[in-house]
Amino acid sequence: MHNFQDRVVRSFPLRFLIAAGVIGGFSLLFTSAASAEAHDKVLERNVVDFDFSPLLIEEQQLAQAADAGQISGGGDDRVTVSPDESKSEEEGSLAKAAQNPIASLISLPIQWNATPSTQWAPRLPIPSVDPTQPVRYVKAEPNQTLNVVNIQPVIPVPVSNGLTLVTRTIVPFISKPWANGSSIQALGDINPSVFFVPTLKGNLTVGLGPTLVIPSATDNRLSSKRWSGGPSGVLVYSKGPVVAGGLINNVWSFAGSDGQDVSTMLIQPFLNYNLPKGWYLTSSPIITANWNNPDNKGWTVPVGAGFGRVFVIGTQPVNASLSAYYNAVKPEIKGQTLLGDWTIRAQVQFLFPAGG
């Protein structure tokens, strides 16, 4: 069996390409953000004056979302790949490991959430200076797409025989619809989390720890402008082909004075059913609540499912999935729902097990 260092060396060209792509994405978004901001300053002069901050909740909560089954760690056995395994056996074992918190597995997921038919702002009347003129409206048609791409490395660190510390840092890139068919493209608020995962006997795994939202967005229109934090927890049940459970967190703003107060909750139940040859069925909707939205109109409740497969490119294990979710309940802003009906999620997760 080859050691972990050998696998890192052999997969260096692929990892170099991944890093180059990430750096290129940063450069592209920074340039796009500067251009969009200059263009939108002109547009904002012609837009009705209302508080845009609630519109940030949807993309921020998508940016805080990740498949909870990726929170690896909590077991004494490291996930290994043996040359004695057949290709189908290797893919099947890695598929379970990618979803199983008991497995000690480093991974780099890249997740894309796209919500078409999104409306950038409420259609609100603009008072006319001349009462004889017809009332004008903000050009806010539901014909744009909200895109959120999350890069979210997951690293388990064994603390002792009975405890593993798992870190997950979500770095979101957001393309948000804006006025007159334009969009804002920039880095969003970064969300690091730490989970303390004790080693438990049986099929149940529990992880608890803090989560933090850093107002790091490169465009202020994509940031809450507040430091926020709170508790986060994950519960996972794994037996046979089934990996199920859920993640929950709630964050409150505690520092910064420029933005609106933050009080939001995220619940992400998940169910994976593993099939032969690395294939699996999955459902992992992202349920969110903005407690500051009046009249309890801040809920987003999607319903849907998808499929995925773990396969190997050369020596690099990859977990890829595709799913679709219908937004059965959507938050209201100024009495209107702005989010599109469907969210499409595509994900590629690079796995780094020990051995080779």
Whole-structure pTM value: 0.80
**Rounded percentage of the chain residues whose pLDDT exceeds 90:** 46
The residue assigned the tokens 């989560």 is: 211
| Mean pLDDT score, 80-93 | 52
Give the list of residues 6+ apart from residue 229 with CB closer than 8 angstroms, or none: 210, 211, 212, 213, 251, 252, 254
pLDDT digits (tens, 9 = 90+) for 252-266: 999 987 778 899 999
Q: Considering only residues 57 and 239, tell me which one the structure prediction assigns the higher pLDDT.
A: 239
| Mean pLDDT score, 48-74 | 55
Mean pLDDT score across all residues of the chain: 78
Q: Is the dihedral of CA 350, 269, 300, 225 positive or negative?
A: negative
Would you say residue 85 has pLDDT above 70?
A: no
User: What per-residue confidence (pLDDT) applies to 220?
Assistant: 87
Which pLDDT band, with edges at 50, 70 and 90, does 71 fall under?
low
pLDDT digits (tens, 9 = 90+) for 190-232: 999 999 999 888 888 899 999 999 999 999 888 888 999 999 9
User: What per-residue confidence (pLDDT) applies to 110?
Assistant: 95
Would you say residue 326 has pLDDT above 90?
A: yes
Would you say residue 51 has pLDDT above 80?
A: no
Which pLDDT band, with edges at 50, 70 and 90, does 80 fall under?
very low
- Min mean pLDDT across 41-45, 222-226, 322-326, 332-336 is at 41-45
User: What per-residue confidence (pLDDT) applies to 55?
Assistant: 54
Q: How far apart are CA 66 and CA 286, in angstroms?
A: 9
pLDDT digits (tens, 9 = 90+) for 291-323: 998 888 999 999 999 999 999 999 899 999 999
Would you say residue 33 has pLDDT above 50?
A: no
Which pLDDT band, with edges at 50, 70 and 90, does 19 fall under?
very low
User: What per-residue confidence (pLDDT) applies to 208?
Assistant: 94
Q: How far apart are CA 97 and CA 105, in angstroms?
A: 7
User: String of b and e for 311-320 (b: at least 16 CB within 10 Å)?
Assistant: beeeebbbbe
Which pLDDT band, with edges at 50, 70 and 90, does 151 fall under?
very high
Q: Considering only residues 56 and 333, tell me which one the structure prediction assigns the higher pLDDT.
A: 333
User: What per-residue confidence (pLDDT) applies to 89?
Assistant: 56
Reading the block at residue 226, the tokens are 């507040």
- Min mean pLDDT across 7-11, 179-183, 324-328 is at 7-11
User: What per-residue confidence (pLDDT) applies to 327?
Assistant: 96
Which pLDDT band, with edges at 50, 70 and 90, does 46 fall under?
very low
DSSP letters spanning 300-349: EEEEEEEEEEEEEETTEEEEEEEEEEEEEE--EETTEE-S-SEEEEEEEE
